[in-house]
Amino acid sequence: MLEWAARPGATASVPALADAAAQAFGVPPAEVARLARRILGSPACARFFDARSLRWAGNEVAVAEGGDALRIDRLVAFDATHESSGSREWWVLDYKLRHAPEALAEYREQLLRYRRAVQALQPDERVRCAFITGEGALVEVESA
């Protein structure tokens, strides 16, 4: 549902999108809407879904790392700030709605693999990675 809400020019309301997601994935619409509102309304996460502030954005982005095909939940690029090198700052985002992702080594390693794959494609630009939780928290992961 988050990827539908984040499409440029998206006009459907959260309840309408939640109903569509509930039908597509067999989950309760109220729960989908609750999670979406938390994430889209979160000061930490909202910028990753605001098409006006993004230089580039993609959902379910296919990449490869170590010979394995990977799929990134959301990949966005912002114009670089003065602290960043290169012309863009990339964010690799992984949705982990029901867990404390930073506590699980396998989740951290998965996210770091995504970041390595993007860094290989954008070697002169800053690439950061984070989990987005169902509570609307952004949990950035640094190198191991």
How many whole angstroms separate alpha carbon 89 and alpha carbon 80? 5
Mean pLDDT of all residues in 11-29: 77
Find tokens 């966005």 and name the residue: 76
How much is the mean pLDDT over the chain? 87
The pLDDT score that the predictor gives to residue 8 is 64
How many whole angstroms separate alpha carbon 95 and alpha carbon 112? 14
Name the amino acid, one letter, at 72. Answer: I
The pLDDT score that the predictor gives to residue 88 is 93
How many whole angstroms separate alpha carbon 88 and alpha carbon 69? 24
The pLDDT score that the predictor gives to residue 64 is 95
**CATH numeric code, 53-140:** 3.90.320.10
In this predicted structure, the answer to whether residue 113 has a pLDDT above a threshold of 90 is: yes
How many whole angstroms separate alpha carbon 74 and alpha carbon 43? 17
- Reported as a pLDDT band with limits 50, 70 and 90, residue 52 is confident
- Reported as a pLDDT band with limits 50, 70 and 90, residue 82 is low
Q: Residue 137 has which token pair? A: 């928290």
The pLDDT score that the predictor gives to residue 23 is 81
Domain boundaries, the chain: 2-40, 53-140
How many whole angstroms separate alpha carbon 16 and alpha carbon 135? 21
Mean pLDDT of all residues in 15-27: 79
Residues 6+ apart with CB under 8 A from 27: 21
The pLDDT score that the predictor gives to residue 11 is 62
